[in-house]
Structure 1
Amino acid sequence: MDLDRARGIVLGLACGDALGRPVEFKSASAIRAEHGQLTEMVGYGTWNQSAGTITDDTEQALCIARSLVEQQGFDPADVADRFVAWYDTGPFDIGRMTGQALSRLKHGDTWDEAGKRVWKNSPEGQNAGNGSVMRCAPLAINNAMDWGLLAKTSRQSSRITHADPRCTYGCAVLNLTIAGLLVDAETPLEDALDYVDSDVPDELVAALDPIAHGESPAKLETSGYVVHSLQTALHDGLLAESAEQAIVTAVNRGGDTDTIGAIAGAVAGARFGASALPDRWLTPIDEVDELETLAAQLM
Structure 2
Amino acid sequence: MVSTDAIEGVLLGLACGDALGRPLEFTSADSIASEHGSVTELLGNGTHGKPRGTVTDDTELMLRIARSLVENERFDGQDIADRFLEWFEDDPFDIGLMTADALREYSHGTDWRSAGQEVWQHRQEGSNAGNGSVMRCAPYAIAFADEPATLRKVSKQSSAITHYDPRCRYGCVILNETIAGYLRGEDEPLADALARVEGEAPEELVETLRLVPDLVSPDDLRTTPYVVHTLQTALYDALTADSAEEAIISAVNRGGDTDTIGAVAGAVAGARFGTESLPDRWLEQLDYREGLSLLARSLATTEISATV
**TM-score, scaled to structure 1:** 0.98
Which residue number corresponds to residue 44 of structure 1?
45
**Residue pair 2:17, 2:264 contacting (<8 A) in 1 also:** yes
Take 2:244 and 2:118, find their aligned partners in 1: how far apart are those partners? 38
Which residue number corresponds to residue 17 of structure 2?
16
Which residue number corresponds to residue 267 of structure 1?
268
**Mind listing any 5+ residue stretches in structure 1 that lack a counterpart?**
none
Work out the number of aligned pairs and report it. Answer: 298
1:268 aligned partner, one-letter code: A
Take 1:107 and 1:3, find their aligned partners in 2: how far apart are those partners? 41
Which residue number corresponds to residue 210 of structure 1?
211
Which residue number corresponds to residue 142 of structure 1?
143
Percent identical among aligned pairs is 57
| 1:240-270 CA distance string (max 9 Å, x none) | 1111110000000000000000000000000
**Residue pair 2:159, 2:172 contacting (<8 A) in 1 also:** yes
The answer to whether 1:178 aligns with 2:179 is yes
Take 1:7 and 1:270, find their aligned partners in 2: how far apart are those partners? 8
Post-superposition shift, 1:74?
Answer: 1.0
Post-superposition shift, 1:172?
Answer: 0.2
**Residue pair 2:198, 2:206 contacting (<8 A) in 1 also:** no
1:278 aligned partner, one-letter code: P
Take 2:71 and 2:215, find their aligned partners in 1: how far apart are those partners? 41
Take 1:163 and 1:144, find their aligned partners in 2: how far apart are those partners? 23
**Residue pair 2:16, 2:283 contacting (<8 A) in 1 also:** yes
Which residue number corresponds to residue 4 of structure 2?
3
Q: Superposed, which structure 2 residues align to 1:192-207 within 5 Å?
A: 192-196=193-197, 198-207=199-208
2:113 aligned partner, one-letter code: D
Which residue number corresponds to residue 101 of structure 1?
102
2:88 aligned partner, one-letter code: Y
Of stretches 193-202 and 232-241 in structure 1, the one that deviates more from structure 2 is 193-202
| 1:54-84 CA distance string (max 9 Å, x none) | 0000000000000000110211111000000
* Over 4 Å off, 4+ runs: none
Which residue number corresponds to residue 82 of structure 1?
83
SS at match of 2:125: coil
Take 2:106 and 2:25, find their aligned partners in 1: how far apart are those partners? 28
Post-superposition shift, 1:197?
Answer: 5.2
Take 1:42 and 1:257, find their aligned partners in 2: how far apart are those partners? 13
Q: Superposed, which structure 2 residues align to 1:214-253 within 5 Å?
A: 214-217=214-217, 218-253=219-254
| 1:194-248 CA distance string (max 9 Å, x none) | 1125220000011100116x33335000000000000000000111111111000
SS at match of 1:114: helix
Take 1:156 and 1:262, find their aligned partners in 2: how far apart are those partners? 21
**TM-score, scaled to structure 2:** 0.95
**Residue pair 2:21, 2:259 contacting (<8 A) in 1 also:** yes
**Mind listing any 5+ residue stretches in structure 2 that lack a counterpart?**
301-308
**Residue pair 1:151, 1:196 contacting (<8 A) in 2 also:** no
Take 1:207 and 1:80, find their aligned partners in 2: how far apart are those partners? 30
CA RMSD of aligned residues (A): 0.9
Which residue number corresponds to residue 167 of structure 1?
168
Post-superposition shift, 1:283?
Answer: 1.0
Take 1:266 and 1:89, find their aligned partners in 2: how far apart are those partners? 26
Take 1:54 and 1:7, find their aligned partners in 2: how far apart are those partners? 17
